[in-house]
A and B are shown apart, each in its own frame.
Chain A
Amino acid sequence: MSPWSQIIREIAFRKWNALLMFIGLAAVAAAISMGKLIAEADERETRRVTRDMGFNLRIIPAETDLGQFYRDGYSRRMMDASMLDRLATSLTNNVEFNHLVGTLRHEYTINGETMMLVGLSETYVAPGQGKKPMGFKIKPGTVHVGSEIARALKKKKGDKFHVGTATYEIVNDAIETGTQDDITVFMRLEDAQATMQLAGKINEIEAIDCLCLTADQDPLSILRKTIGEILPGVQVVQKRVQADARAKQRQTRERVNQFVLPTVLLIGALWVAVLFVINVRDRRQEIGVLRAIGKRGGQIAGLFLGKAILIGLAASVAGALLGTWLGLQFGPELFPVTKNAIKPNWNLVSQLAVAMPVFAALVAFFPTTLAVSQDPAATLRED
């Protein structure tokens, strides 16, 4: 009779053993598929939360008086905008910082209202990481106006806004943020440079620290060294509170991910291995008689590995679907900010359909070796 037919009969006969194997493997598949769904949601949520924390690395001209910088919120010294390009070029080779934005920031007065005028360059992102640039993109001819300025100048979304000789359209709803943004007008870097007659100049490069090291791990000295090698002489300051919060959030998430998957795999592997050892023990005499009637070791191994593959395949599909369903059920409650992005990962389901049978076969390998290597004569004597 065909080996597959024999395997199916044996599964039906020792149904509890097979069912427990199935449950173990399905639980692993469910944990992986749900875990992946949740981990991706967590990643998105973390990214969103940390993005909302804003840039945490500020690169300013060498001659900047830090006292003035902290008092006024910007550097009165300028640097060439080409320094941004130099730093952006280095993104290919480093993993320490990302999301670079060149800014020109200065006080400006319109109709007696003093405000912060900020020109923003496009955001430079490390290539090949699939990351979307942080911050917002300002279209030509538009500005974003802070709530306090909008209130004082009686402006709202869609109104014209005059800066110097140029006219822009306000494209944002001026919502109070409780930060300096409420007295800030954001515009394209080129527009700010033209307004301030500082063509080709910036006074800050903002970035995200990607080291994600907490303060006690001293990320700043690493960042200063790396950036200093590219842009000698610049000063690098870090918004420690934001950087620390971001680092802790990321480190927590990574620790959880690093712990959960190996633990699930280990427990699943042990569970299935024990069941296979029990199965081999239960079938000692069958193995002996198969040897006696001329079956080779490979044929006997095939019965056990085939069983593992068959159960692994069924369990992978059931488990992956269950895990996906659980992820879709509970994901939105856990990650409300990005809940709409939680979607079934059918690609993972198909990957698990291949991976779980292989996993099951690997786990069954040791018990199968026991089955093949046991002395058939010894088992046939056990009368």
Chain B
Amino acid sequence: MIHCSELTKTFRRNGSEVVSLDRVSLEIGAGEFVVVRGPSGSGKTTLLLAIGGMQQPSAGTVTLDGENLYAMSSAGRARARAEKVGFVFQMFHLVPYLSLLENILLAAPAWPSAEARTRANELLEQFGLAKRATHRPDELSAGERQRLAVARAMLNRPGVLLADEPTGNLDPENAASVIGHFTEFHKAGGTVVLVTHGTAADSVASRVIRLEQGRLAGD
């Protein structure tokens, strides 16, 4: 499903070159639950963003379902993200001026169909947020916000969920709840790539990858 080959990413910071990913090659099959670990600055987020078509690598390739993401146009990558990938971030990144329902529907095409609306309402129900559909994100707790972010990522029934420290700002109870939703997604046949420092997902992960200084240090 996901294939990274010799993936390299360098940044320029304060005039010097920093290697974030150093020739990382890996294969993630459909239906895997992969936890990515590593110290801060080891390249975990860069890897996740590169897999999701959000971070142009300096070298190497990323293929998703057989398509070379960075050989596509920007619009093509956007379409691939919309159809195949769901992102979840540590800071939730919800749109503050939209209601919960609208935040989920944001992932739908403009002028969403009745089907998309039904799906969004089902997700609100599934994530225990149905009664707050018209509320705005700033009226929610951190745990509720992250559940909302996961619901948004799932609107388009993606094949893969990419999550960057999704439990980093949550208490253990809410963290467990979010991991539970990832597990459900995984059990339904979805692929999960989870960047985390925590151990909450260890029991459900099918694979743990370790990055150190931009290199694959364990798989």
Contacts and interface: CB of A to CB of B under 8 A. Distances in A.
Interface in B72-103: 74-75, 78-83, 85, 87, 89-91, 93-98, 102
B54 interface: yes
28 contacts: A1-B108, A6-B98, A10-B97, A13-B96, A285-B93, A286-B95, A289-B87, A289-B89, A289-B93, A290-B106, A291-B54, A291-B78, A292-B81, A292-B89, A293-B81, A293-B107, A294-B78, A294-B79, A296-B75, A297-B74, A297-B75, A377-B46, A377-B49, A377-B54, A380-B49, A380-B164, A381-B49, A383-B91
A299 interface: yes
A9 B102 contact: yes
A300 to B, nearest CB: 10
Given A1-B102, A293-B152, A376-B54, A383 B90 contact: yes
Contacts of B89: 289, 292, 380, 383
A2 B97 CA distance: 14
A285 B95 CA distance: 9
Contacts of B49: 377, 380-381
Given A3-B110, A9-B98, A296 B105 contact: no
Nearest to B149: A289
Interface in A279-293: 285-286, 288-293
A381 B195 CA distance: 13
A300 B102 CA distance: 16
Contacts of B95: 286, 289
Among B78, B94, B112, B152: residue with most chain A CB under 10 A:
B78
A286 to B, nearest CB: 5
Contact of B78 (A3, A12, A295, A383): A295
B97 A9 contact: yes
A286 B93 CA distance: 7
Interface of A is mostly: helix
B126 interface: no
Given A292-B87, A293-B152, A294-B107, A1 B98 contact: yes
Interface string A1-43: 1110110011011100000000000000000000000000000
Nearest to A13: B97
B112 A1 contact: yes
Interface string B13-50: 00000000000000000000000000000000110010
B54 A293 contact: no
Contacts, number: 85
Contacts of B98: 1, 6, 9
Interface residues of A, number: 29
Given A290-B106, A292-B52, 4 more contacts: A288-B93, A293-B107, A294-B81, A380-B93
Among B49, B52, B108, B153: residue with most chain A CB under 10 A:
B49
Contacts of A291: 54, 78, 81
Interface residues of B, number: 38
Nearest to B165: A383
A290 B89 CA distance: 13
Nearest to B88: A292
B134 interface: no
A291 B106 CA distance: 11
Contacts of B153: 293
Contacts of A288: 93
Contacts of A289: 87, 89, 93-95
B84 to A, nearest CB: 9
A296 B78 contact: yes
Contacts of A292: 52, 54, 81, 87, 89, 93
A350 to B, nearest CB: 30
Contacts of A380: 49, 54, 89, 93, 164
Contacts of A12: 97
B54 A2 contact: no
A90 B96 CA distance: 69
A383 B168 CA distance: 11
A381 B93 CA distance: 11
Interface in A303-336: none
Contacts of A5: 102
A289 B145 CA distance: 14
A17 to B, nearest CB: 12
Nearest to A292: B87
A291 B54 CA distance: 8
B55 interface: yes
A10 B95 CA distance: 9
A376 B152 CA distance: 18
Contacts of B85: 294
A213 B74 CA distance: 59
A296 B53 CA distance: 13
Nearest to A8: B97
Contacts of A10: 97
B45 A381 contact: yes
Contacts of B112: 1
Given A12-B97, A13-B96, A383-B90, A293 B105 contact: no
